[in-house]
Chains A and B, each alone.
Chain A
């Protein structure tokens, strides 16, 4: 009896220990194929700028496989929080650094350089079935999106539009797209009517506008251009006539006021390191082409050149 209990007990322990061992072996067994390269450029920040930095880092690593460039998506604010303590070398940002962030960086003895790397054209889209609206003025957009707006029918936006229900789709309030759109259209950052369908995932907004005949929504240019056969984009009139978002109009700045710049911030101390310097130069030389590939629009070539020559290499 006692022996039987002892045998059972031992097997129980064996089972438990073997599970532990298996876990440990699995955990450690994969450590063989490690990265190797010691040089590392740490990038974090905006998830909107992430595809651009990923594309550049990917191409850069083809020339310099010895440099590791992990890229994170903590968000613009979250990225700056790390950047201003010297935790990261480069911060992706879909807005400029705020004064409080700048002051904190100075207090920490962190100096940095700002680069504009690409543009995104926030695109205002409607359902394919919408055949009456093709262009809205900034004032009309404001009347739709301003806080407390009571417009619920297209006819209320412009008299010649039909009496069809107007339903709104947009990014949620944490998004940099939301910040920029509210600032450009409503005149005040974060000021927006709140009775709209909000999502942090732009693909959800695409689905929403596709399935709702009375819909109007806005998101980054890449999400429109990938779905241009499923949605209609509206031209925006900023006083100089109607302009649709397109690579050319975003690039030359005529699509206004909804073209927004994308930034990277580079720690000046890191910039003294050979690999960081090489990476930033490579970034500015190649991002124009690469940005296009991932759905953003490059700056005019001269602006990249100006940023390159503005530095002492």
Chain B
């Protein structure tokens, strides 16, 4: 509405052909008005976004906080909602995310460095870039089926273990890490590289001493996003593990496991109302794990950034 009336006003200006002085005055007023409209629009967008998020968060906190205590964190799931705990899925989630990080970071960063710094820009590398971008959009359940066929059945001979889950998650989040790392590497000014080359550095020395340190904050952002996605995925884990009642914590990369999103999903679909309360409590724990993990990564990033500015 507002936008159209502005357009109409501008058009009237053009048609009127009044004195340039009058014209300038009017268009100035129009511009000021237009400016205000957009400011209001942007503020509204922020308010709607934050209000929606706040409403969700408050709803979860109100439902879940009464159930959140040490027993909830330290016991296993039960048919009785009030005796239920999340020890197994909590530790399972930490395992999956930790191992996914171990697999994803070297492979993802390595791929990005190769594609940006070493690979020649030809049709093949463009094709690879395009495919990585497409892979980032593949539904996660597809990766679950792939992981079941390749990792569980082929690699681990039917064992549905933590490693198979983490490898599947690695495939799922790798495109995110690669794309973010590529962008971070692209953002390093080529004059830096030229300077290093001018001083006689070879390609690996340039990457090691110039590109990687400069690109690291951007890469970290990508890694944070990727692991945040891995922590919230339930569909691939439902296919890889399928377990929702586990009374042990994974002891080795070869253990069976379950994860928080799967436990939350199971509780929410139970008929008893109390299960929705403990599902909300589990969501709070999931958020806490996610935030503390991101907090560590952001702390590492900011620590490094400050030093590099000096």
Contact = CB atoms under 8 A, between A and B. Distances in A.
Contact of A34 (B95, B209, B223, B248): B248
Nearest to B74: A33
Q: What is the interface residue range for chain A against chain B? A: 35 or more
B244 A73 contact: yes
A2 B195 CA distance: 11
B213 interface: yes
A71 interface: yes
Given A8-B308, A31-B250, A201-B268, A71 B105 contact: no
B101 A19 contact: yes
Contacts of A225: 271
Nearest to A85: B158
Nearest to A37: B248
Nearest to A226: B271
Given A11-B304, A31-B251, A35-B251, A23 B241 contact: no
B245 interface: yes
A188 interface: no
Interface stretch (A44-52, A96-104, A136-144): A44-52
B245 A31 contact: no
Contacts of A20: 101-102, 105-106
A73 B272 CA distance: 18
A16 B94 contact: no
A289 to B, nearest CB: 12
Contacts of A61: 247
Given A2-B199, A5-B209, A30 B91 contact: yes
A23 B102 contact: yes
B213 A8 contact: yes
A22 interface: yes
Given A9-B208, A72-B242, A35 B304 contact: no
Interface string B220-263: 10010000000000000010011111111111100110000000
Contacts of A51: 79, 270
Interface in A44-65: 44, 47, 50-51, 54-55, 57-58, 61
A300 interface: no
Contacts of A30: 91, 94-95, 249-250
Interface stretch (B32-40, B54-62, B128-136, B293-301): B293-301
A225 B270 CA distance: 12
Contacts of A2: 199
Nearest to A53: B245
Given A15-B304, A69-B247, A70-B245, A201 B269 contact: yes
B216 A12 contact: yes
A84 to B, nearest CB: 13
Interface in A214-246: 220, 222-223, 225-227
A239 to B, nearest CB: 30
Contacts of B271: 202-203, 220, 222-223, 225-227, 295
A24 interface: yes
B303 interface: yes
A293 B271 CA distance: 12
A55 B106 CA distance: 43
Given A15-B220, A35-B251, A54-B245, 16 more contacts: A8-B213, A12-B212, A12-B308, A15-B303, A16-B105, A16-B109, A20-B102, A30-B91, A58-B79, A70-B245, A71-B243, A72-B243, A73-B238, A73-B244, A202-B269, A203-B269
Interface of A: 2, 5-6, 8-9, 11-13, 15-16, 18-20, 22-24, 26-28, 30-31, 33-37, 44, 47, 50-51, 54-55, 57-58, 61, 68-74, 78, 87, 201-203, 220, 222-223, 225-227, 290, 293-295
14 contacts: A8-B209, A9-B210, A23-B105, A34-B250, A34-B252, A50-B244, A50-B245, A54-B79, A61-B247, A69-B245, A70-B256, A73-B266, A203-B269, A295-B272
